[in-house]
Amino acid sequence: MATKTALMPVGYDQRGAIGKFAIRVDGLVGSDSAGQMDSFENPFQEDMVILEAYVAITTLAANDADLDIGLADDEDGTNKGAEIVDSLIDTGVAIHAYKLNTPAVTGVAFPLWKAADAENDAVDSWISCWQNGSSDSSALVYNLILVLARESDFE
């Protein structure tokens, strides 16, 4: 009969380990014209570094949507960016992966999703999903998965 053995790496006490977290936002939808589609605030109590993003298109729109997803200052998309996804065209039902540390580009930083401020909106505490162009992509349905790490783990 086999003996069950628990492995314990010698000297492992989790110093230097960086934990990753993943969040999934389901059922995001397109828009019938250019502009803000969806937004959501940082649900964590701390600043998070966005390491990877995955956009899973589950339902195509009749017209190709041109999506930007990035950090914003509020739910209306004030000072929105395209740090996460820049001009994704929904040409097929697929999963699109975005590694956000492009090594070929010097000085590219990972996006920092700031913690929400209880009294007022913090800069870059929201993620904004935005449609460029004027095509009707209201039938578009997609999910967003973000892989994150605590900013404090990098300090």
How is the chain split into domains, by residue range?
A: 20-154
- Cα angle 63-75-116, degrees, rounded to a multiple of 5: 135
Residue whose pair of structure tokens reads 């996006």 in the numeric block? 111
Per-residue pLDDT for 11 more than 50? no
Give the range among 49-53, 74-78, 119-123, 143-147 with minimum mean pLDDT. 119-123
Q: Is residue 90 pLDDT above 80, yes or no? A: no
Q: What was the pLDDT predicted at 120?
A: 58
CATH topology of domain 20-154: Jelly Rolls (2.60.120)
- Predicted confidence at residue 131, as pLDDT, reads 86
Q: What is the mean pLDDT of residues 118-124?
A: 69
Predicted confidence at residue 9, as pLDDT, reads 41
* Rounded CA separation 16/95 (Å): 32
Contact 23, 133 (CB under 8 A): no
Distance between CA atoms of 24 and 144, rounded to whole angstroms?
A: 6
Question: Among 5-9, 28-32, 55-59, 124-128, which is the least confidently predicted range?
Answer: 5-9
Q: What is residue 57's DSSP assignment?
A: E
Look up the pTM and report it.
0.78
Give the pLDDT of residue 85: 84
